[in-house]
Structure 1
């Protein structure tokens, strides 16, 4: 171990160095207790940012480098500003040298910037005396991605990216009859199957769900992340641990909906139909979903369709898509092709991406498979576009609401192609809280704040832009991660991490800019340990928050509806808890007890759950939302009526709640101990509920009727 890491006593120099890089040396935990971070954790986190701090000499040298670093650059690595707010840009040049700064606008044209009278003491850097000139960015620059150009002395030009982001994301016009509010369904798409599904819910089922939602008066359909996993089996089941967050898992493609299927020879179409008969029999099986079995059947079918070729017009459309998605798509497709052919023992992609010749050789060797994986993304994109078109045509104001995972698999496509911006030897997680008393380690490498700025936030920009191509809204899981993330050094426990801060003005600004361009709403999942000012900041930027009934409290009692925030998506439950019927039955206690996740006696935890439930029922009775001796269905509907009484602009209804499901989709803190993300939609008796069954499902209809009636009465 290094010298500094041997002691938990932090020197003043290490504290200053940590502060310079946004690394917390102390924090307040979920229970309100003050916690100090160990020196070993801080040294490990700094090392992941390429900041040596193992001994006093390294600390001193790194601190000096952090102080002088900005002076070594003519312009900042990138500049992100908010429209309408005056901003200033520092420019560093040899002392006494003339410099001019302009903006090359994205849409064409230039703007010369005015230097302001702001004297800064020159500084000796690397043997040269440098001065700082400060320029004023006008408040009326158009939104978009522009370029700052500094002309120094005789004409040398230095460039950096400039993003002008919206001050506020405007919420679109919603339903006047509901008081300019909206409601929608929430579904784990893979779990919602139809008679024609291939063992899991897919994009054709998504289209049917949007159509049904529109008929019922819903304005959005929130689905789980559709991010891509491995290109072969075994496939990681968690949609929150993807290979990439930018592209789609092709397991969601409905092969029959690809136009080229109509032109397959009869023999190939017959083989395709035979191949899916067995997997379709699983559509009514209430047991865990088997993604591996699905992909082992679906992938060969897609390969057959791909090999059949395309009409010239379709091929040109595919090529346009490929050009539009650029290098990101090519890198992802290459990773998929390599992952199909090689394993960990002979993995050919270099750890460091400097060997351009080796990568080029792989692209040539695997060009056919690279083409295939690009084609899969094009097909998925086309089916997503159709689902959103049907959503809007059915009357939905928002349509599909995608979910964005916190991070990616440590051995996935993004971990390779974006290695320069991901911290090595670190995983993301969460400190202990009431529901996860041992903390959480999500095994995902975090984005480095410094590297994001160096790349002008392209990883965030390109990801959000792609995900929002065919959607009306984006839910950002753990949005606090754009402000700070809990970094856990490799080998440490989940409770032995620390927070690392990000430039939230830049990360939120880039998110808002791309959402503005897509005409989309953004919802931030701001649950858990979130500083109050963060919620205020997001509200002021027009980004909605999240309220979950069971988490909203006032003096250990349910928060009255009128005290909820207005700019939020409010729901009764969330995918990390059992559906409401199961929660009322204390399934969250039983499950954690069975899995050994409790750090308190089960009797203590159960008593707390019973008190929580009784106080909630008392709140429902106080508002006359419950009859005498209510049934489970009536309690679930009353809880949704309670949420409808809030001023929240969006109200979400879990499809699992609507059909009486009791089983949880996910139990945080587990991997193989529980069938996370494998539970198909079923009713309280574990009888599968298909998309085809929903229009005639009495419990579903009753909950929708109760909710919409309450919303209209409150309008």
Structure 2
């Protein structure tokens, strides 16, 4: 069996499964042989026994001999051809073939970024030529820019709705543009499951190629506005999303022939993909009403998007599919209107969209792009002190092999969809461009392992698509950085994230904003971290105590004592102790100082969560919880216009704006 184990290790290395990895404490960890075999099998290389492994190695060798569907390179650089193309074979008269070495077989540099058809050795493939870097902040405007980060559903506007949509977002961009902001970071707006009040997390979408139809704002498209409805302090998603779907159906029913023709014309360029998304949504609504939670729960005949049952359903339910095409049109064109209004109001960048790291396993992307997606594996995180058993996010994404087979078409389409109606893009968990922690179905997260992705190709394609869209790219790089990640991302001029709470020196003190790298986004926090007011008052500690989230053998009193030490460190960094330290129940001066801190930082861009601009104590999301904390449910207390006009809030915004201009 020893030989079989060595072959297993050989197979794992060849397909990019890391046998060993280093945890947050720098300790080396080893993935079990059983996990290696299970992950390899799920990736399409059976490894349950020696015979399987031998066949998989042969399969892998045959695949590596096949020409790639796409070669990705950089403008101005020669490109070394892959072994499948940079080879010559000599066959004698008896049919015996010998491979001849071919040295330095390279393509000459191509200077203009873009996609090219390449004919090589009798093979047709695509050559993607990336620019040396993404657009930078200075490509949009001189100086150091700033903007808020908002959770769209939390917004309240002039009209009363149970949650914010692109109409409230449109009001928000105009309000902040008038106050000097050049960008507005938003939560992911990917397609969810229409009308499903249970699946409302923006980071667990059905598809990253299309939009959350509940965000559509008819008034932005010259249609009658949605009916006004009261909304409480917390969003009642379970009731609100089905009602929103019903309201959109009424809007659709009232469309005249000219508007329907206009919608069809606008949708036409989006082709078969949009049609398939509408078809999926129609099927999901049908079968969810019967208890299905995803396409795997549908009758088996509907699992194949190209099968006869799906075709028959499409033919018999044309009006239902037309409704979902309308809903996608409304969301898409509404968001485009918001972006146009943002830049028209003076924002240099406008919307900074957010690309979720993966999709729901039972969603539209998983259904329609099965050959390119992971099967039997979900994304998560390895064990660490905050999660001793690891995390399983129950999301799927592209498989490395599927991406290469498809010539990266799904990745390119995903990037284009995200950049189509925004001035920039934040890539959530950007480490996933290099590796993902994949967990076998039915196993604990600790049974997973890291699988490498074609990192340089994916980074270059991000740069190419950003270049084509003239868009800013932010790479969320919080956490344990994979080896070799930093240099290519820095070379591509993607902005890293410098979040106040994580920018500490070796002595645990907070570093000065002048030490933040210029190619970064300075932030007082994210949707996953405590607010400044919440941290200063210890609200996050109260939640941790309530939900038993402290590390083992740690008490609230111990955490509170450490927090008081940290308050002294933070206040010293923010003010150089030139003013008395505020008491724990007086967070407003600390919020002001934190905003000034990121404003004066060396970072080219500063982003403050709206919660910090309002000095709120509660955060939008508490990672690692589902129902224990009201994640993605919080609303503003009043219309945004009223809140921004309050003297304290207006002063905080002025503080940030002035600090950026100093």
1:668 aligns with 2:623: yes
Q: CA deviation at 1:33?
A: 1.1
Task: Mark the runs of 5 or more structure 2 residues left unpaired by the alignment.
Answer: none
Separation of aligned partners in 2, 1:119 and 1:147: 21
Structure-to-structure mapping, 1:509-658, within 5 angstroms: 509-531=460-482, 533-555=484-506, 556-603=508-555, 604-622=558-576, 624=578, 626-627=579-580, 629=582, 631-658=586-613
**CA–CA separation in structure 2 for the residues paired with 1:14 and 1:151:** 34
Partner of 1:105: none
Per the alignment, residue 293 of structure 1 pairs with 239
Change (3 A) 1:676 1:516: same
The alignment partner of 1:246 has SS state of strand
Distance apart, 1:120 and its partner CA: 6.1
Q: Secondary structure at the match of 2:208?
A: coil
| Correspondences of 1:495-510 after superposition (within 5 Å) | 495-510=446-461
1:79 to 26, 48, 71: 71
Within the candidate set 169, 183, 191, 2:134 is matched to 169
Alignment of 1:34 onto 2:28: yes
Q: Which residue of 2 aligns with 1:381?
A: 332
* SS of residue matched to 2:230: helix
Aligned to 1:241: 204
TM-superposed deviation, 1:689: 3.1
CA distance in structure 2 between the partners assigned to 1:354 and 1:199 by the alignment: 35
TM-score, normalised to structure 2, is 0.92
1:524: how far off?
A: 0.5
Deviation at 1:66, TM superposition (A): 2.0
Q: Take 1:58 and 1:351, find their aligned partners in 2: how far apart are those partners? A: 31
CA distance in structure 2 between the partners assigned to 1:679 and 1:511 by the alignment: 33
Indicate if the aligned counterparts of 1:589 and 1:602 stay in contact, CA closer than 8 A: no
| Superposition RMSD in Å | 2.7
SS at match of 1:216: coil
1:250 equivalenced with 2:197 (yes/no): no
Q: 1:489 to 1:406 in 2, by over 3 A?
A: same
Q: Is the 8 A contact 1:220 1:397 kept in 2?
A: yes
Q: Secondary structure at the match of 1:602?
A: coil
- Alignment match, 2:635: 680
User: Judging changes above 3 Å, is the alpha-carbon distance between structure 1 residues 585 and 629 closer, same or farther for their aligned structure 2 residues?
Assistant: closer
Displacement after TM superposition at 1:519 (Å): 0.9
Q: Distance in 1 between matches of 2:536 and 2:500?
A: 13
Corresponding residue of 1:148: 118
**1:88 matched to 2:80:** yes
| Contact kept? 1:569, 1:648, Cα under 8 Å | yes
Shift in Å, 1:367: 1.7
Contact 2:575–2:593 (CA under 8 A) maintained in structure 1: no
Superposition deviation, residue 180 in structure 1: 1.6
Q: Is the Cα–Cα contact under 8 Å of residues 434 and 482 in structure 2 kept in the other structure?
A: no
1:338 aligns to 2:283 (yes or no): yes
Segments of structure 1 that go 5 or more residues without pairing to the other structure are 94-117, 153-157, 263-271, 682-687
In 1, distance between residues paired with 2:35 and 2:249?
A: 48
Contact 1:92 1:131 in 2 (8 A): no
Change (3 A) 1:349 1:565: farther
**1:96-107 to 2 correspondences below 5 Å:** none
Check whether the contact 2:537–2:587 (CA below 8 A) recurs between aligned residues.
Answer: no
Answer whether contact 2:217 2:330 (CA < 8 A) is retained: no
In the other structure, the counterpart of 2:124 is 159
The answer as to whether partners of 2:301 and 2:307 remain within 8 angstroms in 1 is no
1:214-241 Cα distance to aligned partner (Å, 9 max, x none): 1111110001001111112334121000
SS of the residue corresponding to residue 129 of structure 2 reads strand
1:208 equivalent among 162, 168, 171: 171
TM-score by length of 1: 0.85
| Matched residue count | 648
**CA distance in structure 2 between the aligned counterparts of 1:468 and 1:188, rounded to whole angstroms:** 19
Please tell me whether residue 188 in structure 1 is matched to residue 143 in structure 2.
no
